[in-house]
């Protein structure tokens, strides 16, 4: 009866190389799987370039559901304050339980904040429902009376409205990016340049952020590259 052969001994360096091959192949397999089933983005971004002229309005549908979440109004010049002055402004209304980040300014009412890029938009921040003003201008009808402006959106470029709205009863956060300039005679030049929202309920979003974290495919590709570098180092 032949004696059993002793198990073959694998050198430590060969063992490490074989292990690296297996890990790299596994990561590559995950990468192929990720390409076949890409991870869903957490932030949905819509790029637009829409001019809202004096007297015009824009219905904002953040999630593309055919539902109006907010309406932006560029109010044309009109008589106001007992016909003693002209006034014009930029305002928004929120539907249902939706609301906008803003602040209260005493006798001047409720205003919408002009957020800079990188600001957090989410729970435990100051949102106000329904109606809010972005900017207003008042010009005296009397000669030499001048024009007064109110609000954070005067000559604002690439500033953000912080938005809170509902999808199927759940709260989501988003932003809308606007450029607002003061033009003559007595009117605002308003351009909406994009908007986005976070698909995960109650999760904050960062103003200006247009995409979520790294996808599964990107992580797998990074893992494959890491194992490849390790193999090269160990093979030297």
User: For residue 32, what pLDDT is reported?
Assistant: 35
User: For residue 109, what pLDDT is reported?
Assistant: 80
Question: How large is the greatest C-alpha to C-alpha distance in the chain, in angstroms?
Answer: 120
Burial label, 125 (beta-carbon count in 10 A; 0-12, 13-18, 19+): middle
pLDDT in tens, 25-57: 444 443 433 333 344 559 999 999 999 999 999
- Please report which confidence band the pLDDT of residue 86 belongs to, taking 50, 70 and 90 as the band edges: confident
Could you tell me what percent of the chain has a pLDDT over 90? 51
Residue 221 and residue 32 in contact, taking contact as beta carbons nearer than 8 Å:
no
Residue 210 and residue 42 in contact, taking contact as beta carbons nearer than 8 Å:
no
Q: How far is CA 4 from CA 8, 10, 195, in A?
A: 12, 18, 72
Mean pLDDT over each residue of the chain, to the nearest integer: 78
- Please report which confidence band the pLDDT of residue 100 belongs to, taking 50, 70 and 90 as the band edges: very high
Residue 75 and residue 86 in contact, taking contact as beta carbons nearer than 8 Å:
no
Of 74, 73, 78, the C-alpha closest to 54 is 74
Residue 235, pLDDT above cutoff 80 = no
Structure tokens that stand for 123 in this block:
């729970």
- Verdict on whether the full-model pTM lies above 0.75: no
φ/ψ (deg, to 5) at 229:
-65, -40
d(CA 165, CA 174): 8
Instruction: Scan for tokens 């201008």, then name that residue.
Output: 137
The partner residues of 70 in beta bridges, in order of sequence, read 60, 94
For the chain, percent helix, then strand, then coil, each to nearest 5?
20, 45, 35
Residue 176 and residue 50 in contact, taking contact as beta carbons nearer than 8 Å:
no
d(CA 189, CA 203): 33
Q: How far is CA 195 from CA 10, 54, 63, 66, 83, in A?
A: 59, 21, 10, 15, 37
Is the link from the previous residue into 44 a cis peptide, with omega within 30 of 0?
no
d(CA 44, CA 200): 11
Structure tokens that stand for 216 in this block:
């599964």
């Amino acid at each position: 009866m032949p004696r059993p052969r002793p198990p073959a001994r694998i050198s430590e360096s060969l063992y490490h190389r074989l292990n690296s091959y297996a890990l790299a192949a596994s990561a590559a397999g995950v990468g192929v799987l990720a390409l076949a089933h890409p991870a869903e983005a957490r932030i949905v971004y819509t790029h637009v370039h829409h001019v809202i002229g004096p007297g015009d309005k824009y219905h904002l549908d953040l999630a593309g559901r055919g539902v109006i979440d907010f309406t932006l109004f560029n109010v044309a010049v009109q008589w106001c304050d007992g016909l003693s002055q002209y006034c014009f402004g930029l305002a928004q209304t929120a539907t249902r339980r939706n609301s906008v980040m803003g602040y209260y300014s005493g006798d001047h009412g409720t205003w919408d904040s002009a957020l800079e890029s990188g600001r957090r938009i989410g729970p435990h921040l100051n949102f106000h429902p329904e109606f809010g003003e972005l900017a207003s201008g008042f010009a005296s009808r009397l000669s030499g009376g001048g024009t007064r402006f109110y609000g954070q959106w005067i000559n604002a470029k690439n500033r953000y409205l912080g938005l809170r709205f509902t999808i199927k009863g759940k709260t989501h956060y988003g932003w809308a990016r606007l450029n607002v300039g003061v033009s003559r005679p007595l009117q605002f030049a308003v351009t909406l340049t994009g908007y986005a929202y976070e698909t995960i309920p109650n999760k904050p979003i960062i103003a200006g952020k247009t995409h979520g974290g790294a996808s599964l495919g990107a992580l797998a590709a990074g893992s494959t590259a890491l194992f490849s570098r390790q193999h090269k180092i160990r093979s030297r």
